[in-house]
């Protein structure tokens, strides 16, 4: 290995690696390329690293070292002058001062820095502040370096070193020596167990047995469950730790004594998810029983029959649309109950109920906060109701900062509530103040949460006040989409006709994964392009995934069209992937490139924005079904092939995004399997229903 001082960093990505130049002690300078797997974090100018690699000749950049190993080091010899002068941990120590320190102390400077006494350097530096900066910076560098060295010595992935050093600070090595299974917070079981066993930890060591159970809990959560039967949990522990069943049972006993796992109803839960579910259950029970009240008596007007009758007449006249009986019942319930649910399939008018609820609440001088999980969903709520909406994350941040004070019995209305996982639901309820009311709107037939838990679906099956809407307004019955949606919800494969071009209805085209991209291009053009149709894929990877489709479409559709930065061409559809409140763009916002000469200009639903940072923009000829939730398109094309994510909720969600026409292409066997087997949401095992039962019985 060679020791180099980082002179310049040409590129540094937190997930992709770094390109930089480094100087050796002999004065030679090298260009180095390091992947994120090799280098624990991007280097900083002035730092000293030991590196090894292979010299290659790049066709553009010439000779460079492709780094195979990189370890952060303390400087040695005169290399310390470059480190002191350039590293960001030594602000104020320039090249001249660093050189003076070297000439004054030479090799003794290392021992002096290790002592950590700033007074040793006050005279040559002529500054107590610079002396403290020098010693503090050295200690920071030394601690970080020690952590990297420990991990490297034990063969750990150095990519986790920075996180470990940041969390444990100067105690990192001591903590890991005490219990190497603390690595589980940063890497997988295989790595942590290998390191621990190499350090002499026995197979039946209590630390290892508890770690086996911790890993079993994490595996449970990765599979989206929050509860597992005793038999399945012990089986998982046996597989993870290579244990016999008796040893697995002892591991569970140790973990229970350590409060890492809880016995619940003939099974086990991790302490975290169990606590969250119990809190949610207790809060829901209190709200439903009218026990979550503000300390002061409310002086608000009640939403009695007289008010409701007068309001509905005015609302119908103003909006030119009459709420049906179920929608009126839902409105009355939402105005009356402290916690309730409005559910139903796609296009049944849940948003109209919400709009009426917001308008009625204004007349009753009640504050309503409209919330959604994603920024795009919040924007749609705002457009549909005419009332401001927030993401749940933004709402919680404002509550914590006291920018929003939940006084005077506000109503928290959450749309697309079927997407709420357990942690988000828990955080939301934790922030409610006594007197707050909760209205949940959603479709349990749509995709379940991406993360673990299944809160909304469980609440829909509980005894909470609920109105289910069934009359479809979005699609005409003549399209066949409402009938197909109803069949899918029941686990029945709907009928499809042969493809007949642009027309209303549902069609199916049989094809193989190898031919799907060419067929998609033909269909896309035939159905009217981006103004008329959107491709919705269940997955990102594979030949029918959004990544491959977008690459193929870009090559075909953008051929000969002026392209700007990032390769985006005029007329191409794009999607924004993060919330950006300064630009007014939400995660999932869809747009069209309108200019590519100079900064890229995109039309986002009528809002033209000039972009220089394109890192949060992707092509959007195809988007995932998850990204499409809450959206509507005139026509949709859906590739259907076997994959782990495909189930009836995925198909149902995709089909109900269309107003007029649905074209599926792929394997009918994959469609049949997805629709007829139980949806993934129904096989998630959680403890929330039991917690609700206990909470309401008290």
Q: Work out the mean pLDDT of the chain and round it to a whole number.
A: 88
- pLDDT, mean of residues 325-350: 93
pLDDT in tens, 14-52: 556 899 999 998 889 999 999 877 886 778 787 888 899
Note every long-range contact of 235-242, with CB atoms under 8 Å and residues 24 or more positions apart, other chains counting.
Answer: 237/212, 237/213, 240/189, 240/212, 240/215, 240/216, 241/193, 241/203, 241/208, 241/209, 241/212, 241/215, 242/203
- pLDDT, mean of residues 223-249: 95
**DSSP letter assigned to residue 497:** B
How far apart are the C-alpha atoms of 515 and 192, rounded to whole Å?
44
Per-residue model confidence (pLDDT) at position 596: 84
Confidence of residue 474 (pLDDT cuts 50, 70, 90): low
Q: How far is CA 696 from each of CA 14, 288, 466, 691, rounded to the nearest angstrom?
A: 48, 9, 17, 9
Percentage of the residues of the chain whose pLDDT score is greater than 70:
95
Predicted TM-score of the model (pTM): 0.78
Confidence of residue 475 (pLDDT cuts 50, 70, 90): low
Least confident of 140-149, 311-320, 384-393, 642-651: 140-149
Q: What are phi and psi of 11, to 5 degrees?
A: -150, 135
pLDDT in tens, 202-234: 999 999 999 999 999 999 999 999 999 999 999
Least confident of 309-313, 330-334, 635-639: 309-313
How far apart are the C-alpha atoms of 653 and 638, rounded to whole Å?
11
How far apart are the C-alpha atoms of 36 and 280, rounded to whole Å?
40
pLDDT in tens, 627-677: 888 788 999 999 999 998 899 999 999 999 999 999 999 999 999 999 999
Nearest alpha-carbon partner for 638 in 484, 486, 491, 489: 484
How far apart are the C-alpha atoms of 327 and 491, rounded to whole Å?
26
pLDDT at 698 over 80: no
Q: What is the DSSP string of 580-631?
A: BTTTTB-TT-EEEEEE-SSSEEEEETTEEEEES--TTEEE-SEEEHHHHTT-
Per-residue model confidence (pLDDT) at position 298: 58
How far apart are the C-alpha atoms of 652 and 483, rounded to whole Å?
11
- pLDDT, mean of residues 95-110: 84
Per-residue model confidence (pLDDT) at position 73: 77
Q: Can you give the three-state secondary structure of 640-657, one letter per residue?
A: ECCCCCCCHHHHHHHHCC
How far apart are the C-alpha atoms of 156 and 176, rounded to whole Å?
12
Tokens for 501, please give them. 């071009």
pLDDT at 302 over 80: no
pLDDT at 299 over 60: no
CA quadruple 93, 99, 105, 107: dihedral, nearest 10:
100
pLDDT in tens, 159-202: 677 678 778 877 888 999 999 999 999 889 998 998 898 888 99
Token pair 């828990």 is found at 426
Token pair 């010693």 is found at 135
Per-residue model confidence (pLDDT) at position 208: 96
């Amino acid at each position: 290995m060679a020791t180099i001082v980082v002179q310049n960093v040409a590129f540094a990505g937190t997930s992709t690696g770094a390109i930089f130049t480094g100087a050796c002690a002999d004065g030679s300078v090298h260009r180095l390329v390091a992947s994120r797997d090799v280098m624990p974090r991007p280097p900083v100018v002035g730092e000293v690293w030991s590196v090894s690699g292979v010299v290659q000749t790049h066709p553009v950049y010439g000779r460079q070292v492709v780094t195979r190993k990189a370890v952060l080091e303390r400087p040695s010899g005169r290399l310390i002058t470059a480190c002191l002068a350039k590293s960001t941990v030594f602000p104020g120590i320039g090249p001249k001062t660093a050189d003076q320190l070297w000439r004054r102390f030479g090799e003794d400077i290392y021992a002096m820095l290790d002592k950590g006494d700033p007074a040793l350097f006050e005279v040559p530096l002529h500054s107590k502040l610079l002396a403290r900066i020098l010693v503090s910076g050295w200690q920071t560098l030394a601690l970080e370096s020690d952590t990297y060295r420990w991990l490297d010595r034990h063969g750990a992935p150095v990519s986790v070193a920075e996180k470990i050093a940041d969390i444990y600070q100067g105690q990192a090595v001591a903590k890991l020596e005490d219990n190497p299974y603390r690595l589980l917070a940063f890497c997988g079981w295989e790595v942590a167990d290998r390191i621990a066993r190499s350090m002499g930890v026995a197979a039946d060591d209590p630390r290892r047995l508890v770690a086996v159970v911790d890993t079993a809990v994490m595996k449970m959560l990765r599979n989206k469950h929050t509860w597992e039967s005793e038999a399945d949990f012990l089986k998982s522990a046996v597989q993870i730790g290579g244990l016999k069943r008796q040893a697995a049972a002892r591991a569970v006993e140790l973990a229970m004594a350590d409060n890492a796992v809880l016995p619940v109803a003939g099974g086990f839960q991790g302490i975290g998810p169990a606590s969250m579910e119990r809190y949610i259950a207790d809060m829901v029970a209190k709200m439903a029983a009218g026990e979550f009240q503000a300390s002061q008596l409310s002086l608000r007007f009640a939403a009695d029959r007289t008010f409701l009758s007068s309001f509905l007449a005015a609302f119908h006249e103003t909006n030119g649309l009459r709420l049906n009986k179920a929608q009126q019942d839902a409105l009355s319930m939402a105005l009356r109950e402290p916690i309730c649910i409005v559910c139903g399939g796609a296009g049944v008018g849940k948003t109209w109920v919400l709009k009426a609820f917001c308008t009625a609440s204004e007349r009753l001088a009640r504050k309503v906060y409209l919330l959604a999980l994603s920024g795009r969903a919040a924007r749609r709520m705002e457009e549909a109701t005419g009332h401001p909406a927030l993401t749940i994350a933004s709402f919680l941040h404002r509550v914590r900062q006291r920018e929003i004070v939940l006084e005077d019995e506000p109503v928290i209305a959450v749309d697309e509530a079927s997407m709420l996982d357990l942690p988000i639901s828990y955080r939301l309820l934790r922030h409610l103040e006594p007197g707050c009311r909760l209205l949940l709107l959603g479709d349990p037939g749509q995709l379940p949460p991406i993360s673990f838990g299944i809160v909304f679906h469980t609440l829909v099956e509980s005894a909470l006040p609920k109105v289910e809407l069934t009359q479809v307004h979005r699609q005409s019955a003549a399209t066949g989409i409402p009938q197909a949606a109803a069949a899918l919800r029941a686990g029945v494969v709907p009928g499809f006709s042969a493809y007949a071009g642009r027309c209303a209805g549902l069609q199916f085209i049989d094809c193989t994964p190898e031919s799907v991209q060419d067929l998609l291009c033909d269909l896309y053009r035939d159905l009217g392009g981006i103004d008329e149709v959107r491709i919705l894929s269940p997955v990102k990877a594979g030949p029918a995934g959004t990544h491959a489709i977008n690459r193929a479409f870009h090559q075909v559709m953008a051929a000969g069209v002026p392209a700007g930065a990032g390769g985006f061409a005029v007329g191409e559809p794009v999607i924004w992937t993060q919330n950006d409140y300064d630009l007014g763009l939400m995660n999932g916002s869809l747009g069209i490139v309108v200019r590519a000469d100079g900064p890229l200009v995109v039309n986002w639903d009528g809002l033209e924005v000039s972009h220089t940072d394109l890192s949060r923009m992707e092509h959007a000829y195809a988007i995932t079904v998850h990204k499409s939730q809450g959206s509507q398109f005139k026509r949709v094309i859906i590739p259907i092939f076997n994959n782990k994510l495909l189930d009836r909720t995925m198909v149902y969600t995709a089909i109900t995004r269309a107003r007029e026409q649905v074209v599926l292409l792929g394997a009918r066997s994959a469609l049949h399997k997805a629709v007829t087997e139980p949806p993934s949401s129904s096989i998630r095992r959680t403890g929330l229903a039991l917690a609700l039962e206990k909470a309401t019985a008290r």
